[in-house]
Amino acid sequence: MQALFATYGLTKSNLGVCSSRPLIVAALFAKITCGVILLATLTAAQADNHVRLVAFGDSLIAGYGLPVEDGFVAQLEKALTEKGHTVEIFNAGVSGDTTAGGLDRVDWVLSEQYSGVILHLGHNDAFRGIPVDVIHSNLDAMIASIKQRGLPVLLTGAMAPRNLGADYYLAFDAIYPQLAEKHDLVFYPFFLEGVATNPDLNQDDGIHPNQSGVAYIVEQLLPYVDQLIERIK
């Protein structure tokens, strides 16, 4: 019994002058109850701080051509964890996906419970020369659907190939800042900033980043993901 008292910090002094068995049991029960409540409170606080992000997009999100651990989602989750965030990131990237494909599947993806969304789509639309107004409309509808669920969004921009002509690429590039302003999003202007056209940071196809390229993207993107997490909290 004395060992049990010591475990829960009970002494004659904090039990009072009366040392009857009912009082001892009551004091012990109170200590145990407080411990259980404290543990439950800490667990709830940890759950409240646990962030579940979904990265929604194309092959750049999916990690095309890379082992899972070298892809964008895995590297970003690791970097955020090292910064002290309690975070999970779910990979909803589909190689070759367009804004139309994203719009078709966004409601299905968001049937799971997430805290926020990282959105990157549009490169494949530009490669196919899809009209800019169609791309704008698809992204606008996707963002509206996400925000309807009360989820904050980090939108990452794309740039159209310059061989499509100035009229096209200027209109395409402007889609992302326009939508970011309209919907009050966290906005990173160009997903491939510092990586596009750099052979040291890309796979042999010259389009998809290699492990080092993804690491560079993650490093540049981290402050914007921090902003997203702040909006969640």
Active-site positions read 59, 205, 208
70, two tokens: 């070298």
Alpha-carbon distance of 229 to 53, in angstroms, equals: 9
Enumerate the β-bridge partners of residue 186. 154
Contact 33, 27 (CB under 8 A): no
35, two tokens: 């411990």
Contact 175, 143 (CB under 8 A): no
**163: Cα separation from own chain's centroid:** 33
Contact 65, 208 (CB under 8 A): yes
Which whole-number Å values give the CA distances from 118 to 23, 73, 78, 139, 166, in the listed order? 57, 10, 16, 13, 28
DSSP letter at 31 equals H
Enumerate the β-bridge partners of residue 116. 53
Q: Helix, strand or coil for residue 11?
A: coil
